Structure 1
Amino acid sequence: MFKLFKTFVFFMVIESFLVCQPLQFNNVGDLQSEDRMESILLECLLGGKYCNTGSKTREYIVPSSLASGLYAWYPLDGNMNDLSGNARHGFFPGGVWPATLGPTYALSRSHLPSGAASFNGTDQLFANNFTVLCHEDFAIALWIFPNYVVHNEILGFQASPGQNPAILFFLGATGQLALQSFFYDGSNANSTYGTSSMALSANLWTHVAYVHNGTTRQGNIWVNGVSVGATSDVGGLSCSTSQWWSGTPLTIGYSYYGNVSRFFAGRMDDIWFFKGRQLDANDISTLMNLP
């Protein structure tokens, strides 16, 4: 009788701690099995943990559909490590770039403590060596939580401060998400440019992506899984006659453009870089549904 009573109380406690339930999807993009959900729930309870609704369990597994062409993946769970398996970890560029201690870490979109990188808009950045040209397929995808949406830089390439970057991904003067790239033929400079059809909102997690087609030399801007804008060449030159400037490294949380240094203010989570492949709607949906 005592055992039955203990069993009853145990399951009543489990029912009262429904806040410990994980998200429906695991990091492979599959639905959590009932056994797996129960295991996580028991682990949460027996470990004396308090799990807020929406907390997530990290398994750090790259879905098979995203393995091809994956250059780097930064979960930003307390560090700048690349978990793609390629060991392209984030670093501080040093030299002519601003001195930085890198981002701090804060609550992620899934309420994971120290599960997202936080940038103060003043002196926080990191870098990697993801370098692409306009005739190559590539894609960039990440979550952002901008503190403001006017002139807030997400990432940029540049040879050094004082020189135009090859690629900028940023929130512009009207709060729209924009992609801009520069090319040069020795005497003239022009750009590829495009914006989202709507402005983004401040203090809200938003999934953003840019997918570039190396054959057409143009790309599409995605917001929350929807293609909302395309790039086109601006000026007399085109990517077919002049390659983009391929400045390196790519700086995340900072860019230098128009003689102005700008930093990102807000949080970023799960940055994915792909080279030699494009992402389609299903791929972006998979990224958005990962915990």
Structure 2
Amino acid sequence: MALGNHSTILEFVLLGLSADPHIQALLFVLFLGIYILTLTGNLLILLVTRSDPQLHTPMYFFLSHLSFLDFCFFSATVPKLLENLLSQRKTISVEGCLTQVFFGFGTAGMEACLLSVMAYDRYVAICHPLLYGQMMSSQLCKGLVWGSWAFINIFPAMNLDFCRDDSIPHYSCGLPSLFHLSCSDTTINLIVLLFSSALHALGTCLLIFFSYARIVSTILNIISSAGRSKTFSTCYSHLTAVLLFYGSGILRYLMPTSGSPLELVFSVQYSMVTPLVNPLIYSLKNNEVKAAVRRTLKKYLQY
């Protein structure tokens, strides 16, 4: 990551969620609990999908990478938030701020790609079940995943110089905040950000929409109501994760970076709630995952 020349300002002040020490203590306990649950859930999904042979399928291969993305994104922002909730000076270095931008913006793009790949996987499984093994080969799955990882785009955050106010009205760093604080000409950066984000979002949304349009059409053609219910349940968890990710992401990035309570609530939902509930969505609504968790825990507890 190119850090550019940032010698004028060496650190930023994160104004956080509240200046009240009592509220900060309550938020620390709340976010610490969320942090532990999120790490436990995503690490458990990673462990189960990698160690249980019955989950060595494309769907769970993609799910393991989704859990790893949530793990990286969450670990880049929440520990610093917990530290600032307990400290008097709520600061973050320029390098640390750009690291949060890298993981926040980069993993969001990768997760959008990965969710569209998972939607395509469900489309093949439901609409072309007899050709599933052929269409979703191991090489194709690995290529799709590495293609998602290749979409890391942090060019809008590179080569920015900061010499203005060092206060960020947020608990973490984001690209809009850095643009406001930069004394460089950010016109090109904004154009690149808008173009890449629009292209990225449009491409992934179209693939997800196409996949689920075909899935719904196939489900409606199933005569048996029990068959329709069973088929829909196979993609219910993924559809829930898609709606939660895009819904919270749109609310987060369409709101101006002003530090308003509503904007902070949407940010918490996007950066904390989504990584927390993804493992719950895929485990509580999936009998295969629940059975694999029981088998894995039983195997490791025996040792």
* TM-score bin (small chain): under 0.3
Bigger helix share: 2
Bigger strand share: 1
Higher RCO structure, 1 or 2 (CA under 8 Å, sep 6+) = 2
TM-score, reference length from structure 1: 0.27
TM-score, reference length from structure 2: 0.26
